[in-house]
Amino acid sequence: MPHHFAARFRFALCPLALALPAALLSLAAHAGETAAAKGDTLQLDATNISGQALGATTEDTHSYTTGSTSSATGLPLSIRETPQSVTVITRQQMDDRGVQSVGDALRNTPGISTQKYDSDRTEFSARGFAITNFQYDGVNQPYDGVYGENPNNSDDSASLDRIEVIKGATGLMTGSGDPSATVNLIRKKPTKDFKASISGTVGSWDAYRSVGDISGSLNDSGTVRGRFVGAYSDKNSYQDHYSQKKDLYYGILEADLTPDTLLTFGIDKSSATPRGSSWTGNPTYFSDGGRTDFPRHFNPGADWSRRDFDETTYFAALEQALANDWTLKVSLDQKTTDHDTQLASASGGNPDRATGEGMFLYWGRWEGHRVQNTADVNVSGPFSLGGREHELVAGVMASHSRQTGATYDTSAFQQVPGSIYDWDGELPKQEFPKNGKYERTQSQNGVYLATRLHPTDDLSVILGSRLSTFKYNEDYGYNPGAGLDDTHASYKEHGVVTPYAGVVYDLNDVYSVYASYTSIYQPQTYKDSNGTTLAPVEGDSYETGLKAAYLDGKLNASLALFRIEQDGVAESIGTNPITNEGIYKAVDGTKTQGIELELAGELAEGWNLSAGYTYARTRDADEQRIFGYPLSTSKPEHVVRTFTTYRLPGALDKITVGGGISWQSAFYGKIYSPTVGDYTQIKQGGYTLVDLMTRYQYNEHLSFTANANNVFDKRYLTGLGNFDTTFYGEPRNLTLTTKWDF
């Protein structure tokens, strides 16, 4: 999006920011009339959705699955019709599990494993690789990995209808990306009928949260609809002197300009202000080479240490129905991110076992301002060929981001005062001198086309391709006397073709077999020991399997076999002692193969289930484990995620009980040992976590939901290898949510 167009786009939407709260307040005026019209005879909705066909939207369906998804191919397909493994976290699942952030949802998603960098940053992985593709309503979002300048997975979930996770490579719709998964965050839409709710949550470690949601028509005819969601949370942590405040404000308007024209405007704004943030975790070895054993509540961060983020997204879309059931859609999106990071963390070095002395601080300051503009224009619809009807989608996408900020002198490490055993986070706040500035720009443009052909009633073939251009430019300029040389990094790739092919054959009304292929292309900004940027990752992804849709699609099952072949995969080999940035090497001949099983939906009336098992084995050409990036860690090869709820029958039908089991096998980290004088391998063995929940529906308005996580208080490491440190997972914790539906 050109700069002058972006400015006009922002100017056009700014009045919306002022109009939304006032406009949406008018919804309350209809509340009394709506309630009166319903009368006092409203009965509790049954958990089942019998007689109701599932659509794409999951809100108010009480379902653990969806009826349609377009994240994989751009075509609206059912899960059974999509020739890739698809996992959907519905609104009901998020409510049942007490999910408050995207990270909370992904942590319990089948096929996904979790590792922590530190108190604020989490890496999620699928099929042996980190997930680097995040989208909002199909629009690609920036991802910065370990440097955390855009924490997509910490975004609040209150504004979401569902989260669609497309496993494997998704180059057709994302262009670049790792063959792990794409996480598409689908926002809530306005409703024609009035609805509203407020909720409050209290939890362990003085955690408090409130959410408000109001939606409905803004005129009598229902052609203008609006919705506003607000959320605020304030919590402490199991870690000493760590706290976090977060807020979310989301507003959206829909207007039927004509019976064939839909216009959408929206604003999504959020912020996070943690205090006591750590930078990495706890040291792994004592100076004598023995393993440390810090308590889970130990926090190496200083009490003023922080990562503050503010994000604002303006989005607009125009959907126009054309002749012969074709549709034109134009989407515009502008996201602005500001971050201010000031860190001090007693995580460096190896302490003396007896005295606890000898540690040093990781510390520094980073800040930046980024604006990303994205535009997508596509047409879709049916066409006839050979006497049969088929579907097609064709579009063009352009995305450009520019980030600027100051650099600060972070090279001077300071010793931790006294013994690490006495560390309580109290440290005089540091003023880091500014020593330069940086500018980083990144662009991706693409043209894509996909068609779904129906050679027979039982056979569908999906063919697609994307033609992409990638540009990246990074400049660091330092002040005279800073003692640092200016740096420059860039890459430019034109005409990158990403083909896609899939086939689905219906065995009968329930079962289908499928197969798919897509190529992999992922530009990299990681550098080797000489400071040279690594070449893009390239490869191929293959998948085949069996899918089933039971009970008219209310219960979906899948079995997938996959194989991924890649060259140029980045593997961490250490840290640059001057810049504190990671050093990587490119690994060729990487192969990942495995199996995935999943079952999600309604087993019987009142009984919902989400369950999955994944086996993914990744090795290089010499059959050695890949210690990924940015963490020097392997990924668990076996992952099991299950969660189920059951609404009791008869006189106890106001009570819902549920629970889940998560298990994953061992994973390994590379940690430098001061006595060995080289990197050593440490292991976190497989572990199991158990969660429980229950809900009491007092009446049609009021409900109480209790969640207990890690009920057996399992002690385990969820992070290995980040600057030679380890990080503990959360102990047992409880939350209680009270919700009032108007």
- The predicted model gives 562-576 an average pLDDT of 84
Asked which of 129-133, 221-225, 420-424 is least confident by mean pLDDT, the reply is: 129-133
Average pLDDT, the chain: 88
Across 277-286, 371-380, 487-496, 641-650, least confident range: 487-496
For 9-66, the DSSP string reads HHHHHHHHHHHHHHHHHHHHHHHHHHHHHHTT-PPPPPS--TT----S--TTTT-SS-
Higher pLDDT, 48 or 652: 652
- Tell me the C-alpha distance between 177 and 564, whole Å: 13
The pLDDT of residue 535: 85
Neighbours of 428 (CB within 10 A): 9
Residue 53 pLDDT exceeds 70: no
pLDDT in tens, 610-630: 999 999 999 988 898 888 766
Range in 210-219, 327-336, 621-630 with the lowest mean pLDDT? 621-630
pLDDT at 659 over 90: yes
All structural domains of the chain: 3-741 (2.40.170.20)
The per-residue pLDDT for range 259-286, each reduced to its tens digit, is: 999 999 999 999 999 999 999 999 999 9
State residue 324's pLDDT score.
Answer: 94
Band (22; pLDDT cuts 50, 70, 90): very low
Residue range 588-597: average pLDDT?
Answer: 94
**pLDDT for residue 122 is more than 80:** yes
Lowest mean pLDDT among 32-36, 129-133, 294-298, 368-372: 32-36
For residue 19, pLDDT over 70 is answered with no
- Report the Cα 437 to chain-centroid distance in Å: 30
| pLDDT-derived band at 145, boundaries 50, 70, 90 | low
User: Taking 60 as the threshold, does the pLDDT of residue 638 lie above it?
Assistant: yes
154: tokens are 């910490």
Region 540-560: mean pLDDT is 95
pTM greater than the 0.75 cutoff: yes
Percent of the residues in the chain that have a pLDDT greater than 90, as a whole number: 71
Q: Nearest to residue 156, comparing CAs of 92, 203, 210?
A: 210
CA 647 vs. chain centroid, Å, equals: 30
Q: What is the pLDDT of residue 580?
A: 60
CA–CA separation, 59 and 78 (whole Å): 17
Give me 487's structure tokens.
């740096």
Confidence at 152, pLDDT banded by 50, 70, 90 = low
Task: Tell me which of 95-104, 401-410, 702-711 is least confident.
Answer: 401-410
Could you tell me which residues come within 8 angstroms of residue 385 by beta carbon, excluding any fewer than 6 positions away?
453
The alpha-helical segments, DSSP class H, found in 49-177 are: 91-97, 102-107, 171-174
Lowest mean pLDDT among 135-149, 253-267, 419-433, 646-660: 135-149
Residue bearing the bigger pLDDT, 11 or 109? 109
Residue 98, phi then psi, degrees to nearest 5: 70, 35
Residue 340 is classified by DSSP as E
Q: For 510-535, how does the pLDDT look when each residue is reduced to its tens digit (9 = 90+)?
A: 999 999 998 888 888 778 887 788 88
pLDDT digits (tens, 9 = 90+) for 341-358: 999 999 999 999 999 999
